[in-house]
Amino acid sequence: MYDVAVLGAGFAGVVAARDLSIAGHSVVLCEARDRIGGRTYTGKAFGRSVEFGGAYAHWTQPHVWRELRRYGIGLSAPLEAEQTYWLADGAVHSGTAAEYAGIAGPLTDRYVADARARFPQPSDLAAAGTSAIEKETLGDRLDSLHLSAYDRDVLDGMLAPLVHRYDEQGVAQFLLWAATTFGDWGAFLETAGTWPIGGGTKRLLDAIAGESEAELRLSTPVTAVEDDGTGVVVTTRGNGRVRARHAVVALPLNVLSDVTVTPPVAQPVRTLIEERHPMKTSKIWARVKGEIEPFAAGAPVGKHPVNAARTEYRHDGDTLVMCMCSDASALDRADREAVQRALRTFAPGLEVVGTAWHDWATDPFSQGTWAHHRPGNLTRAVPRMREPHGRIRFAGGDIAAIGVGGIDGAIETGAQAARDIARTPAEEV
Ligand SMILES: Cc1cc2nc3c(=O)[nH]c(=O)nc-3n(C[C@H](O)[C@H](O)[C@H](O)COP(=O)(O)OP(=O)(O)OC[C@H]3O[C@@H](n4cnc5c(N)ncnc54)[C@H](O)[C@@H]3O)c2cc1C
């Protein structure tokens, strides 16, 4: 009998387990994979470490920044892109980063113009007037601007790294994200996708796990969690049983329909779990021969297999280019020449000598990349899911408030679940 069973050892679970265990609770942390970190994964490729999943953080993200400070870890400086290429209206255009920002910035300003009005206080969704935007998809918003073909492609290419399906992702999440950076989409992009955690996400995870006193059980997939009124019973694959007083379910939203939760969750959380979030994008690393001129590139969804590319590191005389693809099936990641062909659209003559990736969409323990909620869910089902479900609390970046979809949100919810359980009145323990 443990005080708390934490299910899932991504950032949310690892933080919850650390906070509860060092506060004196007995904690078991059950993780399906043979490693911690979940959708962050510092793996090996090309003879060095690379981030296959979540990588970037920022000093304006309070929860992750606090963790970084706690362990004396910083952020790495990105390679500064000298040239930007963008595919629009059937042609590739180029300019400096400032020139591109001068063209794309006014378009993203229009796209998220109502962000601060909709979310005047991003931390308080009750203050948000969201009924109209919660019916709107990213695609509806794009159509509503009635842009020229060129402007539409420029805007689409700017949004594309965060888009899998324009017709399934709600605009509310983009507006909430933009509101956290004062309505400035460029600032949001810088905070969300520019500065890698120094030494990799694994370094931060290992530091958190190293301070934790929780018992870690790797390769232990959970199949069920039941609140029987006196405690929780967690069933693991192969019919193992773990008993605890409370459970923190820090699993990805898209795997929750594989886990039986008893008593069943209420509507609208049930629908949220059944519908899943739609994100099945892909992140590919391409090793390019030589120290090529640093560049960034963008292309609209459905018009090019690579929707964002950026030179990120120098490595042994070569350059590593990070590519984001809205549709994983549009590019064979193992086909070096196909990736080279795609990148040559932007930077003719570059030579791809190797590729590396992790397939998050088919991985049974993620079944998708980061969460982007369907219209109607972000401000209704998601906050409902953050409420306690008896002795069970859900946590994770997928259901975070401000940092939804990211590492910061994962940490926030893990820490919050730990605080809530620690504060549980003695008579309920
Ligand atoms: C390609 C990609 C790029 C991204 N880029 C960024 C970025 O740059 N910055 C950023 O902030 N965010 C980024 N994200 C999002 C970020 O990685 C996630 O939001 C965050 O890591 C989620 O943490 P979590 O703890 O909520 O979930 P997860 O990390 O998914 O952890 C959940 C854990 O549960 C485990 N699990 C699953 N099923 C079971 C089961 N049945 N039993 C037991 N354990 C189970 C999983 O193995 C996993 O370890 C990115 C994600 C991807 C995929």
166 occurs within a structural domain? yes
Of 222, 372, 407, which is best to mutate to test ligand 1, by the most ligand atoms within 8 angstroms of its C-beta? Answer: 407
**108 Cα: distance to centroid of ligand 1 (angstroms):** 28
Residue 424: give the domain boundaries: 2-41+199-278+365-428
Q: Are residues 273 and 286 in the same domain?
A: no
Task: Tokens for 122, please give them.
Answer: 């991003």
**Per-residue b/e over 64-92, b at no fewer than 16 CB within 10 Å?**
bbebbeeeebebbebbebebbbbbbeeee
Q: Which of 304, 326, 359 is where one domain is finished?
A: 359
pLDDT at 183: 96
**189 Cα: distance to centroid of ligand 1 (angstroms):** 19
Q: Which of 337, 359, 381 is where one domain is finished?
A: 359
46 occurs within a structural domain? no
**199 Cα: distance to centroid of ligand 1 (angstroms):** 18
**408 Cα: distance to centroid of ligand 1 (angstroms):** 11
The ligand 1 atom at the shortest distance from the C-alpha of residue 395 is 26
Q: Are residues 37 and 170 in the same domain?
A: no
The residue whose CA has the least distance to atom 25 of ligand 1 is 10
The residue whose CA has the least distance to atom 33 of ligand 1 is 8
343 occurs within a structural domain? yes
C-alpha of 227 from chain center: 29
pLDDT tens-digit map of 101-128? 999 999 999 999 999 999 999 888 776 7
CATH of the domain at 158: 3.90.660.10
Average pLDDT estimate for 225-243 = 96
pLDDT at 427: 57
| Residue 141 scores a pLDDT above 90 | yes
Q: Which of 414, 144, 374, 153 has its CA nearest to residue 274? A: 374
54 occurs within a structural domain? no
Distance CA(286)–CA(353), nearest Å, equals 7
| Residue 81 scores a pLDDT above 70 | yes
The residue whose CA has the least distance to atom 31 of ligand 1 is 10
Q: Which of 4, 426, 42 has its CA nearest to residue 212? A: 4
Q: Are residues 286 and 271 in the same domain?
A: no
Q: Are residues 221 and 321 in the same domain?
A: no
The ligand 1 atom at the shortest distance from the C-alpha of residue 236 is 42
37 occurs within a structural domain? yes
28 occurs within a structural domain? yes
**214 Cα: distance to centroid of ligand 1 (angstroms):** 20
**17 Cα: distance to centroid of ligand 1 (angstroms):** 16
H, E, C per residue of 162-179 = HCCCCCCCEHHHHHHHHH
Q: Are residues 189 and 224 in the same domain?
A: no
Q: Are residues 102 and 174 in the same domain?
A: yes
Task: Tokens for 200, please give them.
Answer: 């990799």
The ligand 1 atom at the shortest distance from the C-alpha of residue 33 is 47
How many domains does one find in the chain? 2
**403 Cα: distance to centroid of ligand 1 (angstroms):** 13
CATH of the domain at 213: 3.50.50.60
Q: Are residues 250 and 108 in the same domain?
A: no
Answer whether 0.95 is exceeded by the pTM: yes
pLDDT at 429: 58
Q: Are residues 129 and 89 in the same domain?
A: yes
Distance CA(429)–CA(426), nearest Å, equals 5
Share of the chain above pLDDT 70, in %: 99
pLDDT tens-digit map of 317-329? 999 999 999 999 9
Q: Are residues 269 and 371 in the same domain?
A: yes
355 occurs within a structural domain? yes
Q: Are residues 315 and 399 in the same domain?
A: no
**22 Cα: distance to centroid of ligand 1 (angstroms):** 23
Contact between residue 295 and residue 84 where contact means Cβ atoms under 8 Å apart: yes
The ligand 1 atom at the shortest distance from the C-alpha of residue 13 is 25
Of 253, 307, 370, which is best to mutate to test ligand 1, by the most ligand atoms within 8 angstroms of its C-beta? Answer: 370
Q: Are residues 210 and 265 in the same domain?
A: yes
Q: Are residues 299 and 322 in the same domain?
A: yes
Longest dimension (CA), the chain: 70
64 occurs within a structural domain? no
**81 Cα: distance to centroid of ligand 1 (angstroms):** 28
C-alpha of 62 from chain center: 16
pLDDT tens-digit map of 143-186? 999 999 999 999 999 999 999 999 999 999 999 999 999 999 99
Q: Which of 359, 385, 404 is where one domain is finished?
A: 359
Pocket of ligand 1 (CB under 6 A): 7-13, 30-33, 38-40, 53-56, 193, 221-222, 250-252, 255, 259, 283, 360, 365-366, 369-370, 396-398, 405-408, 410
